[in-house]
Amino acid sequence: MTIDATRSDQVLDTLRRHAKRITEPKRAVVEVLVGADDHLTADEVTQRVQLLRPDVSPSTVYRILEELEDLALVVHSHAGHAAAVYHLAGQSHGHVTCVICHVTFEVSSDVFDRLARELMSSDGFELDRHHVALSGICQHCRS
C-alpha cells in the first residue's frame, strides 16, 4: 500500500478545521482510504485498519466513516445488492454493475457528463452519478 502523504494531510487538515479530534484510529482510516486504489466496503476498511491498528473495532471504523462522510470527505455508493463501498470524495466517475457476475466497473465521467447534461435540460433533474450504480450485463457475460 502506497501512502499519498499529501492527500492524507489534506483530509486531516479538513478535520482539524472542523474542530474534529485527530485520533489514531481516524488517522488509520484516512491512510487506508488514501492508499486504496479501489472501492472498499466498511468491512474491508476495517480489515485494513486492523492491519495497522489491531485494537480498532468495526464500530469505531463505521463511526469514523460517517464523520468523514458528513464532512463530504468520503462518499459511498451502492452496486446491486452488495454492501455499500467507500472512497475519498473528489472522483467524478460513475459506476455500472453487472447483474450476472456482480462486478462493478467505473465509467469515465464523460459518459455521465453527457447523461447529466441531458437529464438537466430535458427534465431539470440533477444527476448524482456516484451514489447508485447503473445495472446491466457486462461485455464478458454477454458473450
- Positions touching Zn ion (CB under 5 A) are 98, 100-101, 138, 141
Between 50 and 115, CB nearer to Zn ion: 115
Q: Which of 26, 15, 131 is nearest to 71 (CA)?
A: 15
The distance of closest approach from Cβ of residue 34 to Zn ion in the complex, given in angstroms and rounded to an integer, is 15
5: cell is: 502523504
Between 71 and 138, CB nearer to Zn ion: 138
Between 1 and 103, CB nearer to Zn ion: 103
The distance of closest approach from Cβ of residue 102 to Zn ion in the complex, given in angstroms and rounded to an integer, is 7
The distance of closest approach from Cβ of residue 91 to Zn ion in the complex, given in angstroms and rounded to an integer, is 6
124: cell is: 431539470
Residue with cell 488509520: 28
Torsion-angle region of residue 91: left (phi > 0), alpha (psi -120 to 50) or beta? beta
Between 58 and 80, CB nearer to Zn ion: 80
The distance of closest approach from Cβ of residue 19 to Zn ion in the complex, given in angstroms and rounded to an integer, is 26
Between 82 and 100, CB nearer to Zn ion: 100
Asked if 42 and 84 count as a contact pair (C-beta separation under 8 A), the reply is: yes
The distance of closest approach from Cβ of residue 81 to Zn ion in the complex, given in angstroms and rounded to an integer, is 13
Taking the alpha carbons at both ends of the chain, their separation in whole angstroms is 35
Q: What are the beta bridge partners of residue 32?
A: none
Residue with cell 466497473: 105
